[in-house]
Amino acid sequence: MGAIRQRQCEQFATLVKNNGGPPRLIASGELDIASAAAFGLELADLIDERGPDVVVDVSFLTFCDARGLAAFVEADQAARRRGGRITLTGVRPQMAKILRITGLDRTFARSAP
């Protein structure tokens, strides 16, 4: 699995890998108001460049606030307009709880890591 690109800011980083299927974006650190805009742009770029299906590995996220969730929702809406979707993988219990409380567990496809 070769890395396509990697981006990093103070508390958050992404790594995009190509595994022969949909691109896999690995998100790590804190996805919050400070990093959500850049994260959203990264997802939008992937959807534009590689097609509407994107797998996001969230197993390395240590925090996700409402703005981070909004970035996921906006990206999923963009992907669905093009016939695809965002799939989350590596969802840990804390993130699963947030998704369940907000009702977003019904929005995002989830796959095993």
Segment 49-84, tens digit of pLDDT: 999 999 999 999 999 999 999 999 999 999 999 999
Q: What is the DSSP letter of 35?
A: T
pLDDT band at 1 (very low <50, low <70, confident <90, very high): very low
pLDDT at 18: 81
**The token pair that represents 65 in the structure block:** 């606030």
Each domain of the chain, given as residue ranges in start order, spans 13-110
The yes-or-no verdict on residue 99 having pLDDT over 90 is yes
- In CATH, the number for domain 13-110 is 3.30.750.24
The total number of residues shown for the chain amounts to: 113
**Residue among 68, 80, 67 nearest 108 (CA):** 80
List the beta strands (DSSP E) in 1-113. Answer: 2-8, 12-18, 24-31, 54-64, 86-89, 109-111
Average pLDDT for residues 26-50, to the nearest whole number? 93
Q: Can you give the pTM of this predicted structure?
A: 0.86
The yes-or-no verdict on residue 87 having pLDDT over 90 is yes
β-strand partners of 105: none
pLDDT at 113: 59
Whole-number CA gyration radius for the chain: 13
CA 75 to chain centre: 8
